[in-house]
Structure 1
């Protein structure tokens, strides 16, 4: 099912000098299919489900430090997802249990950090942050894995 994620502002990268006001990202499966103003994306995909988020939508982040403390590897990975990140560095996911939890949740394990961006036909890894920097939603490989109520 195609889902349109809409927000007050969409950024291809977090330092994007020209964000899209009232923007949207169309996601189907694990891929981004379109990025642009909400009205244009809805016209391109009539009948698609629309999820509206307050704040700024951009690429999900890379968690660059030690994973948050939690009782289980699954909960540690979930804490990363709640922060708006969908990738971790391998030096911090060094145990087989953490790597398995990351794999089960489609969290990418990287050798080194990298820049993130929303690209058409790229993997649908998105995050929405409110004006205070709190993560409102995280989409990992096209799946909504965190939503703040």
Structure 2
């Protein structure tokens, strides 16, 4: 099922000028289209729409040590709660952490990389409130974190 993630502001990269009242169409684990929400609603009339407050953009790369938590699964979840879809290998040396990351779809990278929303790219998205808190994280088109 195709899902439109909509927000008052959508950033293709975090340093780009935001698109007002934009959206990202996600089909499966890929980005199908990005643009003004009105155009996406017209193009994909049967899509499920998730409306988010805040700014929607590409999920981040967590570049530091993983947060402390009681288990590897919870350590990875703490990264998701910060809007990240990837961690650096140097901070994910524990086999349990790597296994937990793999199960949920968090990438383990040898080095950091730029993040961007682009057509046909993997649908890794994050939504942030004005105060910087992560509202939601989407990995490969799946909602994996949502702040209550």
Q: Please give the range of the TM-score, normalised by the shorter of the 2 chains.
A: over 0.9
Aligned to 2:51: 52
Aligned to 1:16: 16
Question: Following TM superposition, by how much is the alpha carbon of 1:40 offset from its aligned partner in structure 2, in angstroms?
Answer: 0.4
Q: 1:94-140: per-residue Cα shift (whole Å, max 9, x none)?
A: 01111100000100000011110000000000000011101000001
Cα distance in 2 for residues equivalent to 1:77 and 1:88: 9
Q: 1:5-34: per-residue Cα shift (whole Å, max 9, x none)?
A: 0001001000003x2100000001110000
In the superposition, the TM-score normalised over structure 1's length comes to 0.98
Cα distance in 1 for residues equivalent to 2:76 and 2:28: 22
Cα distance in 1 for residues equivalent to 2:112 and 2:76: 17
Question: Following TM superposition, by how much is the alpha carbon of 1:47 offset from its aligned partner in structure 2, in angstroms?
Answer: 1.4
Aligned to 1:73: 72
Cα distance in 2 for residues equivalent to 1:76 and 1:29: 26
Q: Superposition RMSD on alpha carbons, in Å? A: 0.6
Aligned residues: 148
Cα distance in 2 for residues equivalent to 1:65 and 1:80: 10
Aligned to 1:116: 115
Aligned to 2:3: 3
Q: Which runs of 5+ in 2 are unaligned?
A: none
In the superposition, the TM-score normalised over structure 2's length comes to 0.99
